[in-house]
Structure formats: structure tokens, C-alpha cells
Structure 1
Amino acid sequence: MYFKDCNEFNIDQFLNKKYKFYAHIDENDSKKEKETLKEHTDRTQYYFELIFKNKKLEDAFLKIENTFFDGYSENLSKIFREMLINTVILHDIGKLNPLFQSQKMKNKIIKDKTTLNKYQNVITSKHSLISSTVYLDYYYNYIKTEYKDLTKEEKQIARLFMTLNSHIISRHHSDLGDFESYMSNLNKKRDSKILAINKLIRDEDIDLFNKYGVGLNQKKLDTIKKSVDSALKNIPKEKAICLFIYQRLVYSMLVASDYYATSEYINDVKIASVGQIDDIKEIYDVFKNTDINKKIEKYKNINSNQNEEKSFENVDINVLRSEIFIESEKSLVGNNNENIHYFEAPTGSGKTNSSLNLSYKLFELNKNLNKIFYVYPFNTLVEQTTKSLDNTFGNNKKVYEKIAVINSITPIKQKSKDKTKDQSDDKAGNQDEYEDSDYQKFLLDRQFLNYPIVLTTHVSLFDTMFGDRRESCFGFYQLPNSVIVLDEIQSYKNSIWTEIITFLNGFAKILNIKVIIMSATLPDLNKLLDCDEKTTTLIKNRDKYFLNPLFKDRVEARYDLLDQEFDEDVLFDHVLESMKLKKKILIEFITKKSAYAFYQRLKEEMEFGDNDNALIELMTGDDSIYERNRILGMIKSEKAEQDGIILVATQVIEAGVDIDMDIGYKDISILENEEQFMGRINRSCKRHGIVYFFNLDNHNKIYGDDYRHNNEFTLLKSENREILQNKNFTDYYKRIFELLKRRNNELNENNIDDFFAKTVANLKSTEIKNRMQLIDDDDWSTTIYLCTTIHLEDGTIIDGKEVWDNYKELLKNNEMDYAKKQVKLSQIKSKMNYFIYQVRCSERPCYNDIIGEIYCIFDGEEYFKEGKLDREKFENNIGEFF
């Protein structure tokens, strides 16, 4: 209905019928008929409209119209819609390029060398810029003649979207690029490629297509630039974000539609769905039927008639978890119209299970929703939630196949395939289960996030939202009408908290996204905004839970080591005393170097001292998934319960690691991390836990551009100890917000208003990407691959050298179908993660083999000692970890 009255561009009438124009040929099948330009255009339009329909995007585009066109005539909306659908129809019109036809399509429509040389000199065999030029030329004249009743201001806005669409067309085979750069190139007085192309394709001696309009000239390009500049001048933040959304959404939809159309012709793969949730009931019913949720429902029914304020003294912890589950759901239902919901609950209170319930409840309340993203700061948290979903949905194949993990360590998801009746098990075991078309579908699903439920990391989500690479934008069209559960958003640098919440509010409004932000230490980011954005706090009286003895007094914070003269010897002696208690002890350092050194010292004490029965383990970010699981199993073992265990760790232990320890030691960092660490101690609330804080390494180097590392916000100050004790993080964040607001108003590159008015409004993609990066790139990073042998829990042995050789062979294989190769590569890369380390090298390391920028060392075992990386030997021979 949205495009019902739009005048669609007729390519058949446009192209000169004496020529035949092709869009694609199948180089692997010479017998297959070439795909005509009209056929490809129709296919692309079909998929564009399929995405539009399945993702229910009409409302998003109506909101874009309302944001930009409020108060203007209906004709402005009409031309907006026409230009949008014709962006798709004209995206490949530049393939009429005679050089493209002859060189790419083996179709010599023009043999005259003089004519071909003209194309060679101006544009070679490319087509995207020709398409954008035709689009710009056509619509400049179309607006002038067919929409002459538009006011001057309306024409400026129309030309803005006309030019933006032409930019999107010009980039649909490349990275998004900066719109501002496109505008600069558009108006190069002495060397305007747009004018050169326009003149070339209008050459009457070639006569490629029927004429339209009067053609572009410098005066018209100047008019376009003035119109765009006027339309963008002083636009408010809301419109700047809306324009940013429009650009990425249309670019994402066009690229996806083009991919799907091409894949249909080349691989005979027809996309029928873009991974939306069509029926939440089949998912929600399974979730409600788990043991834990049936108990919560039973508790809810028993206590439903109790209106008075309940007393939670001397209750089981599961009562508090049930109450949090029920209260958060009730608050959500009562505030369903809001887009952003804050869910703050103590560590160990069942936030994951509650958040799953909230995401499904939102679907019951909002019929347009069709996708869920569960987003976490670390892969360990992704793994933990994946296990939770495994336990919930693992026995229901239909539901389980809707879930996919998207991160750097998980292979591309392959949906199970039913065997044919004549396919015996023996035969199936000796052949590939899938056909090339299956692999093509698997790859497209991964590239464009075609899964109903996605588990991913903040880094991956922010790349989709703000990255400037073509691949980054692939899945942007999946964001509208989705539920996004953001866990631990405070984990990343607070220097961009204002930008994050500003964009989230804008995305939620325009794209109908429901956002749940959850944490045990949750900053109300909306307080950073000048305007009053409505949000929901799902737990109204947080103190009812946070100050309950089961959470508040579960762990005693001790500052003995922080208030005395301190060095590593003091810590070591203190830990030795604790070892005598035969308890489970967790020691966290903020640098790997300190963790390794302390671990080695404890191992030596165990070997030569009186504690030869003690279990001592080390866990850092260097450990493989297998090694981490082995350690966690050891912590839960009967021997650890009886004799105690010491786990030396880095901050990898703070989140996503399900352990329950008795005594903790922690090098101080930011206050949120202290709370996360305390969540690993006495997690079951069945005994008394103690955490000793100390100050060894300089946390300033770790956290960089983050106000929270300042001493005034750490446990060095007594007021912050009180905040940690009483879990009153509101006061803590209030002080940080004051600093952030001051920073946002500085008259420099940090100024928040300038960022949205000058950078976002002008669609400077690279600058936006750089500003919104959660983790800064490290130019000194070097990737080292150590060949070792890993034994998994199920008995599987993974030989690092064999994995490396398989990777090399697969890269060299140019006969394998591209999609199949990419799926196989993702499987091998998943195994390669067991053996890869990131280091800083002052010079090129000694290596045995190299692929790209990965340096392989065959004798990797030499750098391990008792199953642990020998950090000192590694750094002496190769480089420094980070």
C-alpha cells in the first residue's frame, strides 16, 4: 500500500530496444541464459518489497516522513516514495555501459573503438556511478516539471533525498562512504565526473536509451548543492538521527535485495523469509513450561491476592528472584508504550531468565515486533546465555533452529536437513550433507542476520548500527520492529554514553525498537539528555531487593589491604593464611602480567611449601574455551569443596562466569567491576563471603578515557565504599554525569551538539564510526597462532597444526563454491580461536608460516608450561600481550 500510487520507472521504455542489456551471466554454467537488466531489476524490486513487507517497514518510513515533512504538502511525501522505490529500480541502470556489457557480459553492443575509448577514459566498465548519475539527472528534471507546485523549501528537501538516494546507488557495491565527500565530488568545477558521465551517456551517436529531460550541467549541480546545504542547515538533532537512519536503512535494503536477486539467478536460491518471528506463542509456551518458570507461575498464583507490602525477611533467595520476575513483567505491561526500559536487579537475582520473559512479553503486547537481539559485552556472556537457551529450547528443534549466535568465534549456523528416504546412514556419512544452494542460504542468513533470535556482542551490534563497511550495514534493516536486550551497557567507555543513549532513543522512535537495558549497576543514561525522554524503570523500589540481607550482606567488603602499606608480598602472605581455611579463593588482578606472576609464585609455594594438596588454577583471556570449562569444572569438583581451591584470574572472571567462591581478593578498578566481582562470591547465599580489596596495578592505564578510573570514584575514597556497601549507585552516577555533561559542552571535538549538527547531519560515516567505536583499535596489534594440541571434554583432540594446514588448503581451493567455502572457513576459524593470541611486537616475530597478518609458530608447545602459557618465555621471544 505504501507504494500504491507511485509512478515506477519503466526500464523497457527507457532503454533503446535495438540493444539487449544484461545484468549477470553465470560463468560456471555457459548454457544458462544471461539475465537481462530488466529481469534483475524485477528480482531486486521483488526482494526489496519482500523485506519491506516481512519487516513491516511502512511504519518506519511513515515516521521518517512525519519527522521531515510535518507541515508540508502531501506532494512532498508522494515524491519521497516515488524516489525511494525508483532507487531500487534504477540501481543498476548503469549496466548499459558498453564496456560493462562487452567486458563483463560478453555482449558487444558497440564495436566502435572510439566510442569505447570514451567510456574507458571516463568510467571504465563500472556501473554504479552511472546509475546514480542517471537517477540524479532524471529526478532533477522530474521534480522541476512534475512537482513544480512544491514550495522552494519543499524542493530543497526533495533534492536532499534525491541526492542522498543517488549517493546510496553509487555505493551499493562498495562501503557506505561519506555523503559529504560525495557532495564535494559532485561539484568539482574543473573535474566533475558526474557531468562527464552525463555527457557520455547522452551521446546521440551511441543512443543507448530514449532521452529524458534536458540533462545536467554545472548550474544544476550548483542548485542541487545549495538545496542540500539549505536543507541540512541547522537541522535539529532528531532530524539528523532520522537522516542517518534513512541512509543506512535504504542502503541496507538495497544491498540485501541486490544480493538476494543475484543469488537467485546464480545459485537458484530464492529467499522466502528474512528471519522474522511470525508466532511468538510457540517460543513463549516452551519458555513458560520450564521447571523454573512453572515454579514462578505457581508462586505468582499463590500470592496474587496479597495486596499489602510483603516482608522478605528470612525468605529463600528464589522468592526474591520470583518477585523480581513478576514485578518487572508487571511494570513492562503497565508501560508498554515506552521504548526504553531500565531493568536493574542485584547480581544473582535471575536477570537473564527475567529478561527472556520480558522480551517475549513485549511480543504479546506489540504485534509489529518480529525479531529479538540479546546483546552482551563479552563472548563469555554470550556463551552463558546460549547455554541457558540450550537448556530451555534444546529439545524443541523447531524453536531451537530460530536461534543463532553471531560473533567472531562461532561458525556460520547450518540448519539441520532431513535425509531423503533413499539416503542411508552410511552413504550420508561419506558425503556432504548439504548442496551448494544450502551453503548459499547459510551464508546469506549469516551476512544479513536472517534469524528470528540473535545472540551477539555490543561490538557486533554497534558495528551494524554505526560501521561504515558494506558488510557492517548488511543487517541494519533487521533492526526495525525488534526487541534489543542490552546487558551491562556500562561496561564500555563512558565518554560516549550520551551519544549511545541519544542514538538509542532516535532508533527506538523511528524504527519501533523496544530496548531493555539491564545490569546490577545501571546508569540511567537518559539523565545525560537535555530533553525529557520517557523511559520505564521496571523495578520501582530497587532497595527492596538490593538492601535485602541475601544480596546486601551476602559478601563483606574488607579494606585492610587497601588502608595499609601494601606490596605483592603483603598480598601473598595474606592469601597463604586464607589457604589454611581450605576455602574456595578467587584472586583478581587487572593485568595479565600480575596474574601470571602471582600464579607462578603460588605454584612454587605449593611445590616447595606445606600446601601440596592445594588446587591452584589460572584463568585469563588467553585461555581457550576448553581450558576455561576445565577450570570451572575443577572449581565445582568434590575435591575443591573438601580441600579448597585458589583461582587467580583477570577481569575475564567478572561477568559471564558461573562460579561460587568463599573468599575474594581484588585489585581495585572501577566501582561497577567491584560489584561484578562480589557477585562471584557466596553466589548461593548459603554462607558468609568476604572480599579483600587491594591496590597494586595502575588502573588508569587499563581504562584510559573513562572518568570512573579517577581516584575520586574508586574505593580509595570512603564515600565510594559506602556506595558499594549500600548499592546506591545513583549518587555515584550523578557525579559522573556532571563531568560528562561538562565534557559534552566543551568547545572542541567533544561537543555533543556539534557532533550531531555537523557530523551526523552531514552523514560523515567514517567520523561517526570512529566516535561510536566501543573498543579503540590498537595499531600495534599482532596476531600470533601457536600450534598446540587441545583435548576437549568430549574426548575430541584438536591439532593446531592440522587446523592451520586445513585453513591454508581451504584458502587455496578456488574450485569450491564461494558460499560453501565461506561456511567451511567459519568452521575452521572457530577452531583457530583456540590457538590465536594478540600481542604487541616491537618488530616482526620469528615465525614458521604466515597467512595474511597471522603469524604461525609450529612449536607452540614450547611456550606452555603445565598446560599454561609461559608468559615470560613468550614475551622474551615474541612480544607483549595485551
Structure 2
Amino acid sequence: VKKIHDRNKYITLNKLRTKILLEADNNLKESIENNTNNRVFYLKVPTGGGKTNTSLKLALTILQNKPEIKKIFYVFPFINIIEQNYEVIKNTLDLSEKDISPIYSTSSWNLQSENRKEKLMYVLDNEFLNFPFVVMSNVNFFNTFIKSGKSSNYRLINLANSVVILDEIQSLDDTDWTAFNDFIRYSSKYLNIHYIIMSATLPRLDKLDQEKNNSYIDLLEDSSDYYDHECFNDRVNFEYRENINNIEKIPKLILMETKKKKYKKILVVLNTIEDSINLYNELNSEKFRDDYKILLLNSTILSFRRKEIIDKIQNSDDNTILVSTQSVEAGVDIDCDLGIRDLAVFDSIEQVAGRINRNFKKKSAELIIIKLMKKDTSRAETVYRRSYRWKVIRENYLDKIDKFVKSRKFNLYYDYVTSSIKKYDSNPLIETSKNFVDNGIRVLNFRTLNKMKVLDSDSISFFTNVAIPKKNFSTIEQDFLKEQKIIINKKIKSSEVWQAYKNFNKKFYQNMVDSKVDTKIWSAILSQFVINVFNYWKEGQKLSDRLGIKENITFLHTGYSIEKGINPKKITRENIETFDDFCA
């Protein structure tokens, strides 16, 4: 009986996904027919509502109805989501390597040919985005407008007459929403870009317009009809427990919850790397190891290990507790039975809810929100204090968290956020995103434009001392490493790669093609071993200043584990090697 019930729920869910796709597609066609100037479309779909497939259908509809539109750009907020969705998109549309390309800082070299002319064309195609379908990061996409270097100028021309799918738009820093909206509005108007902006938690950026000629179109007339359906609304029960205020209480909470109900997959999302490591160690010292596999996934976990963890969560029947940070939120396709989330901005909490009972296989599941404190300050306050969304929570919701997580009235929440942004934008004494629009974008002040960062993240790249299974490297990458005299057995040692890379940096190239090709392959290889650590302040100095780091990448001799990530205590001057050390 349970199997029949589960099957019926899945059929209902698929019918809902189909209904969402058809309604959005019909409204898009009607909008194109009635007003050819409509170029920015909103798609607000509940998590698990088939957003990716719907967006691809919408993009194809625009191509079919607008002969001048020649390309599709699918823009994701994070590289790990690109890696996860690239193959899905490629297979769904039956595209070859010549039709689609992933464009991001660490993407692999996909060309098999050794022909110099073909290599040159491949380099140029990547530089100019000369592919019918491009999957890219939002950093690469928005930098095309922001930066004034050659690479950005090369790419700008190919953005014209295209469809751009912007996924998880809320992941952009809300202190810059006014500027991002300006880029979207005027690039759609003057470059004939058709935008599909989508998320389960979708802020109305057009409410930040300085001009009141709103032409952004909702492709679902009343998305609340879908959000209120039991397949989405009853998937997860929310509960706020403010008394769970330190790491030591979380294992006890999990024990208590697992006694009530047998949970196979448990997801715990915390706000800082430090908290995630501390909880991971706590759980490994408890009796959980007998009943659960304990996994850690934060931004210091290498990309190949990240893929292994997601695969285990998706395909293994083992009882598992996954301890994570925001790394597991938007776009990551995992499905857990119980979620625990440290207090955060509300859209972040909703994104975690999207990883719980994702396919409605259970009648209901739980997401428990806790409030970790350090001294008298919440961890959420420390992490989100610059965010307008957190300011709104602090001013309007701190005593109503429990009420909000049960009602989840995001429209009202985002109205508060956009009102707060506009209030600060109107204050001439405060430097805001509107100042950047007025003094940078509108007057084409390239010095001001070049200062803007899509991701305002000051971090240090560490090259970790580990050995990675060779299966994680392409045949081209393995052959390239052999050319560098690196011995390849079952694993590839980072210490040997680091030595070869230092030699590469001394090499002189006589032609641009070989230099570009080798640099691209090196970039993909190095990314397998590199983690980024926030360049935090301590005792009046940034971490980089205390370590004497000036380069983009630094070798970390000890203190890194593939399973546990980085040990912050090991980040010392004696334990690192820079290129300055090598050249001295």
C-alpha cells in the first residue's frame, strides 16, 4: 500500500511539473506575440518543480519565435552547480561537445585534437563564447559588462541576440542588486538579450528600477497555486528551536529526533567552516559512527571529493549525516529526510528545505532551525551583517522567526528588502549600489566599473598536499602530466604537480597558441587540488599579510585531509611555500 501511495504522489508531482511547464510556455508565447519588446521574464517555481526542464523549453520557444536569437547562455551562481548540471543539459538536449561548452575558471580542456589550427580555434571559441549553448558562472557572465579588458570585450558581442537563463538570482550579493538589475534591464534593451530569471525564492529586482516603466513578465500568473499544493507545501515541516544555541547541543538534538523516527539521511547546514568542522568532530566522537556515516562538505573540500559525497547521498542506502555550509544550498541535487539549519537569511533556509524530502517520497519531513551563538552574537549576525536581507530580519522578524518559517511569505519579505535597499539608495551620505549605477554604469566610468566584484570574496588559494585518484582527470590531462615527467599510477600526487607547475612558470613560449593551451590545461589540473580560504582579520592583520602571501596560489605542506578539509591551526608561515620562496 505504501509503495502504491508513493507512486501516486510521484505521478502527481510529475503532473504538476508538466502543468508548470505548459503554463509558463503558453504565457511566454502570448507575451512574445502581444509585445515583442518584452525581454525579461520571471519564473518562480517551487523547489523540485522542474525548473531546469521548464527553462530549457522556454529558451527553445524563444529561439523558435525569434529568428534573430542565435544562442543560449545558462548562468549558474556556483561552479559546483555548473559541474552537476552541464551533463544534464547536454544529455537533455542531445548536444555534442561542439554545441555546448562550460565556461568557468576551472573548466577542463575538452578538445581531443593535436592539430595546432584546431587548438587555436578552440582557444578563440572559448575566448569569444563561439558556441550555440554556453554554461557559465554568474561571475563570468556579469564581468562581461563590468570589466573593460580584452576578454570581456571579446565576449560582449556574442551576448547580443541571445537567451540568458539566470538561475538562483538571489545568490547575488543583495548590496549590489540595484546594479545587477540595471545591467539586466539595459542589456535586454540594447543588446536584445531575452532573460529568464528564475528561482524558488525569487526577488523582484525590477522594483529597484529608477525608471517606473516595468516590463518584466511573470510566466506563472499565480505561482502560489503551486506553492500551496501538498506536493510542495506539505513536503517539509518547519520548526524553530532557539534553545539549540551551541555545537554541543546538536548531537543531542539528532539523537532525540532519531529516537522519534528512523531517518536515513540527515543534513546539517551551518554558517561557518569553523562550526562545520567542530560539529563533524563532535559527531565522530559520539556513538553516531556506529549507526551513521559522517560526511563533511564545506568550501574547503576538494571538488572531486564533493562529487563523491553528492553521489553517496544520491545513490547509497547507507545511513548518513552530512555536515555542510552554504555549499549545499542552491541547485545541489540531494534528498534528505531530516534537516537542521542554523539561522540565516530566509531564502537560504528555503534553499535548504529544497534538499529535504525533495521528491516527496515521504509523507512529510522536518527542517529544524536553530540559533548558534558565540558570546552574545548569533553566527547569523556575524556572517550576514552586511546583507539587506539580514537587516530586514533583524528589524522585522527576529521575534517572529517561528511564524515566518511556517508561513514563508516571501513576497512580503522581499518587499521589505527592496524597500530597505531603496531607502539606503536614496541617502546621499551612504555609498550604495545606486552610486555605482549613477557614477559608473550610466556614465561609462570604466575605472569605477572595474572596481565592482560579482562575488565580493577576499580569499587565499591553497594548493593542498594530497593524492587524487587519476580517474578524476581527463585523458588529455593525464597525457599532459606525463609530458611534464609526472609518474601516474592509481593516484596523482599534488607535490609532483606543484613542482612541475613551478617549472612551467619559468617556461618561455614562442607562440600564443601553445601558451594558451598549456595555461588552460594547467588551470583545470590545478583546480583539482586547490581550496579557497577566507582572508580573515586577526589581531589587526589579514591572514595574507601574516603569512606574507602575495601570489594567487600557495602550497600548504600539512594540515589538509580529503575527508576533513583544512585544519586552520596548520595555516602558518612555516607550513606554506610560495613562489617567492622558490625564486629566492
Q: What is the TM-score when the length of structure 1 is the normalising length? A: 0.57
Distance 1:774 1:802, change over 3 A: same
- Aligned residue among 636, 641, 649 for 2:324: 649
Deviation at 1:574, TM superposition (A): 0.8
Deviation at 1:441, TM superposition (A): 1.3
- Aligned residue among 18, 25, 31 for 1:322: 18
The aligned residue for residue 868 of structure 1 is: 564
CA contact (8 A) 1:546 1:727 kept: no
The aligned residue for residue 181 of structure 2 is: 501
Measure the CA separation in 1 of the matches of 2:228 and 2:310: 30
The aligned residue for residue 694 of structure 1 is: 370
Q: Out of 715-724 and 592-601, give the one that drifted further.
A: 715-724
- Aligned residue among 619, 627, 636 for 2:297: 619
Post-superposition CA distance 1:774-814 (Å, at most 9, x none) = 22252xx4332122101255796232123223323433332
CA contact (8 A) 2:40 2:196 kept: yes
The aligned residue for residue 834 of structure 1 is: 528
Post-superposition CA distance 1:305-359 (Å, at most 9, x none) = xxxxxxx999610011000111110010010121100000000111011111111
Measure the CA separation in 1 of the matches of 2:233 and 2:396: 17
The aligned residue for residue 506 of structure 2 is: 812
Which residue identity is paired with 2:370? F
The aligned residue for residue 783 of structure 1 is: 461
The aligned residue for residue 475 of structure 1 is: 155
The aligned residue for residue 167 of structure 2 is: 487
The aligned residue for residue 99 of structure 2 is: 402
SS of 1:746's partner is coil
Distance 1:792 1:851, change over 3 A: farther
Which residue identity is paired with 2:39? N
Unaligned stretches of 5+ residues in structure 1: 1-311, 417-432
SS of 2:290's partner is coil
- Aligned residue among 16, 22, 28 for 1:332: 28
Distance 1:637 1:335, change over 3 A: closer
Distance 1:837 1:845, change over 3 A: farther
Measure the CA separation in 2 of the matches of 1:874 and 1:347: 39
Distance 1:314 1:480, change over 3 A: closer
Deviation at 1:499, TM superposition (A): 2.2
- Aligned residue among 50, 53, 57 for 1:357: 57
Deviation at 1:505, TM superposition (A): 1.3
Distance 1:403 1:619, change over 3 A: same
Measure the CA separation in 1 of the matches of 2:232 and 2:244: 31
How is 1:303-322 mapped onto 2 (pairs within 5 angstroms)? 316-322=12-18
- Aligned residue among 553, 564, 577 for 1:854: 553
The aligned residue for residue 493 of structure 2 is: 799
How is 1:549-588 mapped onto 2 (pairs within 5 angstroms)? 549-559=230-240, 561-562=241-242, 564=243, 566-580=245-259, 581-588=262-269
Which residue identity is paired with 1:404? S
Measure the CA separation in 1 of the matches of 2:176 and 2:43: 21
The aligned residue for residue 81 of structure 1 is: none
CA contact (8 A) 2:295 2:323 kept: yes
Distance 1:346 1:855, change over 3 A: same
SS of 2:248's partner is helix
Deviation at 1:486, TM superposition (A): 0.5
Measure the CA separation in 2 of the matches of 1:689 and 1:820: 54
Which residue identity is paired with 2:522? I
Which residue identity is paired with 1:388? V
The aligned residue for residue 738 of structure 1 is: 419
SS of 1:856's partner is strand
CA contact (8 A) 1:670 1:714 kept: no
SS of 2:175's partner is helix
Deviation at 1:664, TM superposition (A): 0.6
Measure the CA separation in 1 of the matches of 2:335 and 2:10: 21
CA contact (8 A) 2:239 2:402 kept: no
Measure the CA separation in 2 of the matches of 1:466 and 1:315: 45
Q: How many residues align?
A: 532
Measure the CA separation in 1 of the matches of 2:43 and 2:490: 41
Deviation at 1:592, TM superposition (A): 0.3
CA contact (8 A) 2:47 2:354 kept: yes
Q: What is the TM-score when the length of structure 2 is the normalising length? A: 0.84
- Aligned residue among 612, 632, 639 for 2:310: 632
How is 1:519-598 mapped onto 2 (pairs within 5 angstroms)? 519-529=199-209, 530-559=211-240, 561-562=241-242, 564=243, 566-580=245-259, 581-598=262-279
CA contact (8 A) 1:745 1:752 kept: no
CA contact (8 A) 1:413 1:442 kept: no
Structure with more of its chain in strand, by fraction: 2
Measure the CA separation in 2 of the matches of 1:714 and 1:385: 37
How is 1:637-786 mapped onto 2 (pairs within 5 angstroms)? 637-640=315-318, 644-687=319-362, 688-696=364-372, 697-710=378-391, 712=393, 717=398, 719=400, 721-748=402-429, 750=431, 755-771=436-452, 773-778=453-458, 781-786=459-464
Measure the CA separation in 1 of the matches of 2:253 and 2:296: 18
Which residue identity is paired with 1:598? L
Deviation at 1:545, TM superposition (A): 0.5
Deviation at 1:632, TM superposition (A): 2.0
Deviation at 1:691, TM superposition (A): 0.7
Identity of aligned pairs, percent? 27
How is 1:379-390 mapped onto 2 (pairs within 5 angstroms)? 379-390=79-90
CA contact (8 A) 2:182 2:437 kept: no
Deviation at 1:503, TM superposition (A): 2.6
Higher relative contact order (CA 8 A, sep 6+): 2
Measure the CA separation in 2 of the matches of 1:722 and 1:357: 37
Post-superposition CA distance 1:746-775 (Å, at most 9, x none) = 12354777655544444211212334x222
Root mean square deviation of aligned Cα: 2.8
Which residue identity is paired with 1:452? P
Distance 1:481 1:721, change over 3 A: farther
Deviation at 1:369, TM superposition (A): 0.5
SS of 1:568's partner is coil
